[in-house]
Amino acid sequence: MEGFHPTVRRWFEARFPEGPTAPQRRGWPAIRSGRHTLIAAPTGSGKTLAAFLAAIDELVRLGLDPAAGGRGTLPNETRVVYVSPLKALGNDIAKNLAEPLAGIRNELTRMGLPDVEIRTAVRTGDTPPAERQAHLRNPPHLYVTTPESLYILLTTRRGREMLETVRTVIVDEIHAVADDKRGSHLALTLERLEDLVVHGPAGRPPVRIGLSATVRPIEEVARFLVGAPRVSGDEVARDCVVVDEGHVREM
C-alpha cells in the first residue's frame, strides 16, 4: 500500500487485514505509474479492486490537492470509465463500489480532512432516458457501462463532451470479447475514445487497464487491450505491463 493516500490505506488495511493479493501488489505500481496494464488472475483474487482503488486514490488526492483548492471538491467531470461485457456485472460493480467509497469518506472524517464525494453511475441498454440525461448534466466521476453503451455515447455531442475528460479506462472480463465481433467493435470504440481524450483537456491517452480470467496466450489479450498501433511485430509494446497470476486460488 506504499504510495496510497493515508485514508485509502487505512480503509484497505482495516477491510483486508491479510494485506494485498498478488494481483494488487504487482498491478498497483504499474497502474500508478501511468502504464497500460493487463491483470490476468482467477475470480476472487482482487483484480477488480486493484484497478478501482488506484483510480479512487487518484480522485481522493485530486480533491485534497491544495493547488485545486484542497476543499474536497472534485471537478464536475468523468475521470474513470469501467466497461463490462455483461450488464449484470456492471450493476454488481456499482454496488460493490459503495463500500470502499463510503469507508474512505469515513476515514477522511476521522482524520479531519475535507469530504471528497466521488459520484458513480451505471449506463446500460436498460438505463431509463431520464437517468442518461442526468448523467450528462452532472457527470459521474466513475462511469460503469457496456461496450455498446460506450459506443452510443461517442456518437453524441454531449456524450463526447462528457468523455473527453477520461483519464482511466478499465475493461473487465476482456477475455470474453477479445476474439469475437463485440471485441472488434470495442477495439474501435477504445481507439475513438483515445482520439477524443488526446484532443481534449487531458491532452494524453487514457490509461487502459484490462482485467481477465486465466487465458492463453495472454500476449494476444494484451495486444487487444493496447491496440495495434502499440504493437511491434510479435512483441507487445513496452508501455503495457502484463501481470499474470493465472493460477488456481488456494482454498
Determine the pLDDT at residue 232.
47
Task: Decide which of 182 and 227 is more confident.
Answer: 182
Mean pLDDT of 1-9: 91
* pLDDT > 60? residue 101: yes
SS (H, E, C) 171-189: ECCHHHCCCCHHHHHHHHH
* pLDDT > 60? residue 249: no
Task: Decide which of 229 and 33 is more confident.
Answer: 33
Determine the pLDDT at residue 230.
53
Task: Decide which of 94 and 136 is more confident.
Answer: 136
Determine the pLDDT at residue 236.
47
C-alpha 157/C-alpha 148 separation (Å) is 17
Range of weakest confidence among 17-21, 72-76, 224-228 = 224-228
Show the cell assigned to 233: 511485430
- The strand order across the sheet containing 36-40 reads 120-123, 142-145, 80-83, 168-171, 207-212, 36-40, 240-244
| Tens digits of residue pLDDT in 194-239 | 999 999 988 999 999 999 987 778 888 888 899 865 544 444 444 7
Determine the pLDDT at residue 248.
56
Show the cell assigned to 109: 472524517
Buried-exposed string 160-184: b where 16+ CB fall within 10 A, e elsewhere: eebbbbbbbbbbbbbbbbbeeeebe
Task: Decide which of 157 and 44 is more confident.
Answer: 157
Determine the pLDDT at residue 233.
47
* pLDDT > 90? residue 170: yes
* pLDDT > 80? residue 127: yes
Task: Decide which of 249 and 141 is more confident.
Answer: 141
